[in-house]
Amino acid sequence: MVLFLKNGWRKIEPYVPLLVKAHTPVSVLIAARNEEKSIHKTIEDILAQNYPAQLMELIVVDDHSTDRTAEIIASYANRGVKLIRLNENEPLNSYKKKAITEAIHLATGELMVATDADCRMGPNWLISIVGLYQEKNYNLISAPVAFHQEKSLFERLQTLEFLYLIGFGAAGIGNRKPSTCNGANLAYKKEVFLALGGFKGIDDLASGDDELFLHKVAKAYPGTIGFCKTLDACVYTHAKPNLKELIQQRRRWASKSVKYKDKKITVLAVCIWLFNFSLALNFVLGFFNPYFFELVLVQFAIKLTAELFFLEPLTAFAKRNSLLLYLPFLTVLHVIYFIYIGVVGNAGKYKWKGRLVK
């Protein structure tokens, strides 16, 4: 599997923008809920893009914020930022999808570029994504997301693991078997979104505005999905500061797996889960028969070697090679974490953005 993934990453050529003039009308979309501490930084970064102002609009949807988020967004009205306020009376299980859908209905652009309200991006973020779009005419483009400004070992471990997830998604696209992407940095044609009925059929989950929609596009328009392999196209956000918030986030991500139409992806996820479960089981059995301790050592060696083999080019791409020093530690912790998330992510309720989600 790792050989297959690494080959997929290699198949994606590093994107080098050609000297072409931007001509694509773009709508940047953000769904925001209680982001008063970060939304102004994100808006400022987007307004500072090296992209023709007449071809770009920024639409921010306030998702029932209880802080100053809407007020801050509204203060940018004189700079062309459009604010939409959600006002549903009935509770939803997919407020973010509702927010994005409302923004797209208002959008005048040809290409929708979605990001999150707590992301930072460099001045060439938009021109990189749009440049690839103009060259390849992809229906959907996934672009890199990374953590930055880590304050602890716990956050650095998340950064390393998250690079694996981003690489996993990019490799799937490189192998023409798209499986995952991240909604914090995702672009797609408005006409494609409308033609597929938007999020219809996947709108009963709080998450899934990214990879479940990716699956819809991959099924309807095979071979029209790309990955923008350049750091200029990367957006940066923060790792979760504590274990509780990390588990809630990953439970939300894992909850999407029940909606995968391509069962090969589900089978792959189950196989990875079973491998990690066998590690834990063999460790316990080792107390009854030392042979199993030897087996665990062999399994860990295989796991560590495979992850190092895949992560080395990813950390090089992100210019974070030093993170590989934490890989042995992460490899051990990942077993417990992966087993737990695999179970609770598909059962029970969890909290997200202050809401209880079923």
| Its pTM surpasses 0.95 | no
Q: Compute the distance between CA of residue 321 and CA of residue 121 in angstroms, rounded to an integer.
A: 21
Arithmetic mean of pLDDT, 216-222: 95
Rounded Cα gap, residues 329 and 333, in angstroms = 6
Positive/negative CA dihedral, 180, 184, 187, 189: positive
> 133 is written with which tokens?
């779009």
Burial (0-12, 13-18, 19+ Cβ within 10 Å), 99:
buried
pLDDT of residue 263: 73
Q: 49-82 pLDDT, tens per residue?
A: 999 999 999 999 999 999 999 999 999 999 999 9
Please work out, in degrees rounded to the nearest 5, the angle formed at the alpha carbon of residue 230 by the alpha carbons of 227 and 233: 80
Cβ–Cβ < 8 Å for 206, 38:
no
Measured in residues, the chain has a length of: 358
Q: What is the DSSP letter of 222?
A: T
What pLDDT does residue 130 have?
96
CATH node for 2-240: 3.90.550.10
> What pLDDT was estimated at residue 254?
73
Say how far apart CA 65 and CA 346 lie, in whole Å.
28
CA distances, 342 to each of 35, 117, 144, 153, 200 (Å): 29, 28, 24, 24, 26
Q: Where are the domains of the chain?
A: 2-240, 263-357
Q: How far apart are CA 24 and CA 197, in angstroms?
A: 23
Structure confidence at residue 201 (pLDDT)? 84
pLDDT tier at 202, thresholds 50, 70, 90: confident
